[in-house]
Every structure is written in C-alpha cells, then in structure tokens.
Copies of this chain bind each other. A is one copy, B any other.
Amino acid sequence: MFSIFPIKGYIDQIDGFYCAGIHAGLKPNGNNDLGFIYADTLCDVEAVFTRNKFQAAPLKHYQAYEKGFKTNFVLINSKNANAMTGQKGIDNINRLFAALKHDVTNPIMSSTGVIGNPLPVEKILAGANSFDLTSKDGEGLSKAIMTTDAYSKHCMYEVEVEKGKSFKIGAVAKGAGMINPNLATMLCFITTDANVPKEDMKPALEAAMHTTFNAISVDGDTSTNDTVLLLANKKSGVYAKEAFFEALRMVMHDMAMLMVADGEGAKKAVAFEVINAKTEQEAQTAAKALSNSLLVKTALFGEDPNFGRIASTIGASEITCSEDTLVISYNDVVVFEKGEILFNKEVEAQAGEVLKKEQYKIICDIGQGEASYTAYGCDLGYKYVEINADYRT
C-alpha cells in the first residue's frame, strides 16, 4: 500500500528541476509575465492539448517535434497567446529559441493571453536570456503565468510506495475562467521524479483528465492554448503504477479545484452531483449543463434556492429523465422529490443556509439508472463581467 502526503513548496522542490519568473515588459502593470522550467537532465514529456480547431502556435510547435522527443526546457509567457498568428507565430517561436543564449534541448513554448496579436519576440528573448537556469523560484514562475487568476496555483506531493522509497510529483497552473463554457486558457505544468515508463505517461494523463480538468469545463469548448504538460526526470528511481496514477490524479484534481474556486470573481465552489442517471454520458451531460448554466450560476450568486432552474436545466439537457423519479437536494436539504415540491418556508430557509456556504453540493438524483458524474462550477457575479468586458487592456 502506498501513501501520498502533501509537502510544501513549488515544482522546484524536486531534485533536478529549476524554475523562475520575471517581468519581461509584457504586462503594463509590471507583474511577472515570463517564466521557465529547466531540468538538469533530459526528461520524458507528454502533453494533452485543447480540442479547439485553432490551436495556438506553441501547440503546433510542440507537435512538430518527433514522437518520443526529450526536453529540458519550457518557456512560458502570459499576456499574449500567440494564437491565430499562422505560420508567423510558429516562425517567431523558432526565431526566439534560435537566439536563446542558453544551451537547451528541444525547448517547449507555452503561451496564454490575448489572441490575435503577434508575439513580442524581442522582449521575450531579452527576458529569457536574462534567466539564471539554476534558480529555484517557484513563486516567481507561478506569478508569471497568471492572467485573470486571483491567486497562484500549485501543489506538491511525496508518494511513498514502500518504506524508504518515494517519489515526488507536483504542479504549477493557471486558469480562472472555468466559470463558464469557457475559452479562458488553462495551463498546467507537472513535474515528477518518479521513474515512470514513457508508455505510462499518456494513459495516466488521460485517465486523470476525465474527473479533473474535463469536469470543470465543457468538452470541446476550450481555449486555443489549453495545455497540460508532464515532465519526468526519473531521478528518484522509484515507481509504482497505481500510486503514480493516483498521485497524478490528485495533483490535477487540486489544480482543477483551485481554478473553479478562482472563477473570475467567483465566491462559491459548487459540486454538481448527478446520480442514478441512465448512462455515464447522460450523467456527465446533465452535470456539465448545470455547472455551465448562466441562470443557475446567477442564482447561486444571489444565494437564491431557485431549484426550478436546476430542474429546467436538466430537462433542457435532453437526458432521459422524468419528474416522477427526480430528486433535487442542496447538500442534505431535499427540495423536490419525485413530482412533489417540498419547498415550504422551513425548507427554503434550510436551503438558503446551504447556499450561504462557500462550498456545497447540489445533488440531482435522476432515478433512471446507476450512472453518476460530478461536475464542478461556481457562481457568476458582477466581477466576472468587469474582468471580461475589457480583458485586452
């Protein structure tokens, strides 16, 4: 049996990984906007990218490497997504890396920010050339990748697979637009010293996606730049498949939950549990419809136990359902049960108490089968509009 326990610090807690972030002149407010991850040995790398048809230039640049390539360097900038920039966008990355003074192998670029502006290559190059690749400044990196994020997102775990044998795995991430069927970019960089075989890396990533990042955004409705990157330097020499898969899932779940809670002004993180649906696909369809409904989100913001919007959203999602089998609860407060409205003054007050919490569940028992799925969402208030009305400036 393995144990997974959280430890402090950033991804540079792992032996052999280095990182930092600086202000390279991209953000007008002087905040960090350029960062790197460096490894002192070559790493195996796997990635999951957006399904958006207009993948940004850095994603195309990555995919042009030969299958099975190794790398020791990731350069990340915010404020400019290098998306919708065509072949010029890719040329800019190649030009940048060609002029880099550091000796790195198969460098990877990752970008987030405004779509449709040319990459400011000279600023980024000057910044990147000023890096000290032996830095251990995880906080600096985590700030450099933020856009509308209200706080930095990172985690680190130590996984003991048997007494005295352990590996580490951790991540740094950005993403705060998961509040909606969204196009806000999600980036997540995961490092590990687990001795994971290359062939296990992609399956582990994909298995974890389903219940983590995919549960906080709508399939297919994704940014041009969404990226989850896993770097493994194998230095611990330790590996256990089950432990690694579970630890990776925990890391990605942590990052996903921090993104939900940081939903561009959101105050509440809500789990939409759909249970007893006919199929898992239907459970997922309904759960995501709930977590993405504007009318549900604004009711959560208003702390209004308006369960009619919950029911209507389920009905509109076109899954197999019937009023006669549906049960809706806020945490343990049942408000609708199989065709019966249980909503009196007392129940409304109890439900209202639940809605005042910062975290709670909305449970929808469809009563048509045994499949379930939980999606995570948040409320939507004035702050969201403020953040997104004039994002580019």
Question: Is A324 in contact with B86, judged by CB distance below 8 angstroms?
Answer: yes
Chain B residues positioned under 8 Å from A85 (CB to CB): 341
A357-393 contacts to B (CB < 8 Å): 380-382, 384-386, 388-393
Question: Is A385 in contact with B301, judged by CB distance below 8 angstroms?
Answer: yes
Question: Is A116 in contact with B307, judged by CB distance below 8 angstroms?
Answer: yes
A340 and chain B: residue at smallest CB distance: B86
Question: Is A114 in contact with B392, judged by CB distance below 8 angstroms?
Answer: no
Question: Is B301 in contact with A81, judged by CB distance below 8 angstroms?
Answer: no
Chain B residues positioned under 8 Å from A314 (CB to CB): 53-54
Q: A51-B318, A54-B311, A385-B298 given as contacts; is B339 within 8 A of A87 (CB)? A: yes
Question: Is A308 in contact with B114, judged by CB distance below 8 angstroms?
Answer: yes
Whole-angstrom CA separation of A339 from B118 in the bound complex: 12
Question: Is A392 in contact with B323, judged by CB distance below 8 angstroms?
Answer: no
Whether a CB of chain B sits under 8 angstroms from the CB of A75 is no
Whole-angstrom CA separation of A392 from B310 in the bound complex: 14
Question: Is B388 in contact with A385, judged by CB distance below 8 angstroms?
Answer: no
Chain B residues positioned under 8 Å from A341 (CB to CB): 84-85, 116-118
Question: Is A184 in contact with B295, judged by CB distance below 8 angstroms?
Answer: yes
Point out the residue from B180, B302, B382, B391 that lies within 8 Å of A390, measured CB to CB.
Answer: B302
Question: Is A295 in contact with B177, judged by CB distance below 8 angstroms?
Answer: yes
Please give the count of copies of this chain that the complex contains: 2
Binary CB contact string for chain A from 58 to 91 against chain B (1 if under 8 A, 0 otherwise):
0000000000000000000000010111110000
Question: Is A224 in contact with B315, judged by CB distance below 8 angstroms?
Answer: yes
Whole-angstrom CA separation of A184 from B392 in the bound complex: 31
Whole-angstrom CA separation of A318 from B180 in the bound complex: 18
Question: Is B304 in contact with A390, judged by CB distance below 8 angstroms?
Answer: yes
Question: Is A116 in contact with B336, judged by CB distance below 8 angstroms?
Answer: yes
Q: Nearest-CB distance from A293 to chain B (Å)? A: 7
Q: A316-B183, A324-B86 given as contacts; is B389 within 8 A of A298 (CB)? A: yes
Question: Is B86 in contact with A183, judged by CB distance below 8 angstroms?
Answer: no
Whole-angstrom CA separation of A317 from B181 in the bound complex: 11
A130-163 contacts to B (CB < 8 Å): none
Question: Is B53 in contact with A115, judged by CB distance below 8 angstroms?
Answer: no
Q: Nearest-CB distance from A347 to chain B (Å)? A: 12
Chain B residues positioned under 8 Å from A298 (CB to CB): 384-385, 388-389
* Chain-B contact segment, one of A13-21, A165-173, A215-223: A215-223
Whether a CB of chain B sits under 8 angstroms from the CB of A306 is yes
A175-206 contacts to B (CB < 8 Å): 177, 180-184
Point out the residue from B313, B340, B381, B382 that lies within 8 Å of A183, measured CB to CB.
Answer: B313
Whether a CB of chain B sits under 8 angstroms from the CB of A129 is no
Whether a CB of chain B sits under 8 angstroms from the CB of A321 is yes
Question: Is A312 in contact with B224, judged by CB distance below 8 angstroms?
Answer: yes
Chain B residues positioned under 8 Å from A292 (CB to CB): 181
Q: A86-B323, A385-B301, A391-B299 given as contacts; is B114 within 8 A of A312 (CB)? A: no
Whole-angstrom CA separation of A318 from B223 in the bound complex: 12
Question: Is B87 in contact with A301, judged by CB distance below 8 angstroms?
Answer: no
Question: Is B54 in contact with A116, judged by CB distance below 8 angstroms?
Answer: no
Whether a CB of chain B sits under 8 angstroms from the CB of A343 is yes
- Give the one of A177, A222, A308, A336 with max B CB within 10 A: A308
Whole-angstrom CA separation of A254 from B54 in the bound complex: 36
Give 6 CB contacts A-B under 8 Å: A52-B312, A54-B314, A182-B294, A221-B289, A223-B316, A301-B385
Closest 4 A/B residue pairs (Cβ): A115-B308, A302-B389, A54-B315, A298-B388
